[in-house]
Amino acid sequence: MEVLQLLPFGDYNGNTISNLLVITVEDKDADNIENYLFGATISAALSEIEEFLGTDYEQQPGSLRYDTTEQALEKMDCSELVARFLQKVCGLEEVPHPFYTSLMLSSMRDGRFDSFLQHVKNSEEEDFKDIRPGDVFLWSRSSSDGHTGVVVSYDKETDKVTVIEAIGSLGASEESLSKDLDGYCKSCIRKSIYTRTGKALYKHEGWKGYFRPVTTK
C-alpha cells in the first residue's frame, strides 16, 4: 500500500500542487498518480500558452525567439510558440533554442531533443489515433518549409484535432473548419480544428506525425 500524505501548496515531483490532496492507492496504481500529475502539467502549460492567442505571426531573429521580454513576446512563429510551450510543460529553465521545424526533423534521426521532446512511434501512419493533449504535430517539406503546433484535444467521434498554432496569412488547407471559433484570425496565434487524416495534418505533404513532451518527474 502506498499513501501520499497531505500535500502542502508547492511542488511534488516537479509538479505544482494547487490544492491539498490525500490519496491512498495500491502500489499497482502508483502510475495512475503520475499520469494524473502529467495531465495536470499539460493542462497548465496549455492554459499558459492560450495567453498568446491573437499574438501576431512573425519569425523573429536571435534572442527574441527565447527571451521573455515584452518585445520578444509581441510576435512569434510556429516553432517559437512550440518552444515556449515546451519550456513550460517540461520544466526547462530556458526556452529551448535554437528550435525550428528543421531541427525537430533532425531530432527524429539524431535524438537532439529527446531529453524533452520525443517522436511518437508510428504516429505518422494513417491509422494512428493515440493523439493526446500536449502532443506536438509536425510536417516538413524541406529545411525551410515546415509547420508545427500543439494539440489541445482530439475528438474520436468526429475524428477532428484541435490545436494551438501560429499560422501565416494564407491560413491552412482546412481553413473553413476554424472560421467559427472565437478569436479566429490569420497571421496570428490561434486555435484551429483539422480532420485527423485531412490535408492540414496526415495528408499534408511532408507529414511526420506527433511528438510528445517529456515532463519533469
**Same domain, residue pair 114 and 135:** yes
- For residue 135, give the nearest of 213, 194, 40 by alpha carbon: 213
Which of 48, 67, 83 is where one domain is finished?
48
Per-residue confidence (pLDDT) for residue 33, from 0 to 100: 64
- For residue 45, give the nearest of 166, 155, 134 by alpha carbon: 134
Query: What integer best gives the mean pLDDT of the chain?
Result: 89
**Same domain, residue pair 13 and 116:** no
CA 114/CA 214 separation, integer angstroms? 8
pLDDT tens for each residue of 41-62: 999 999 999 999 999 999 999 9
**Same domain, residue pair 9 and 114:** no
**Same domain, residue pair 81 and 164:** yes
By DSSP bridging, strand 56-57 and strand 75-76 are parallel
**Same domain, residue pair 188 and 138:** yes
**Same domain, residue pair 121 and 208:** yes
**Same domain, residue pair 7 and 59:** no
Half-sphere exposure at residue 128, Cβ-oriented, CA atoms within 13 angstroms:
20
Q: How much of the chain is in helix, strand and coil states, percent to nearest 5?
A: 25, 30, 45
Contact 17, 37 (CB under 8 A): no
**Same domain, residue pair 8 and 93:** no
Which structural domain, as residue segments, surrounds residue 13? 2-48
Half-sphere exposure at residue 52, Cβ-oriented, CA atoms within 13 angstroms:
31
CA 102/CA 114 separation, integer angstroms? 15
Contact 162, 192 (CB under 8 A): yes
Residue 4 has pLDDT above 80, yes or no: no
CA 40/CA 19 separation, integer angstroms? 12
pLDDT tens for each residue of 148-204: 999 999 999 999 999 999 999 999 999 999 999 999 999 999 999 999 999 999 999
Tally of structural domains, the chain = 2
Contact 55, 20 (CB under 8 A): no
**Same domain, residue pair 143 and 95:** yes
Which of 14, 32, 48 is where one domain is finished?
48
**Same domain, residue pair 42 and 89:** no
Q: What is the pTM of this model?
A: 0.84
pLDDT tens for each residue of 153-162: 999 999 999 9
CA 179/CA 202 separation, integer angstroms? 21
**Same domain, residue pair 115 and 191:** yes
Residue 21 has pLDDT above 90, yes or no: no
Residue 23 has pLDDT above 60, yes or no: no
**Same domain, residue pair 73 and 121:** yes
Per-residue confidence (pLDDT) for residue 38, from 0 to 100: 73
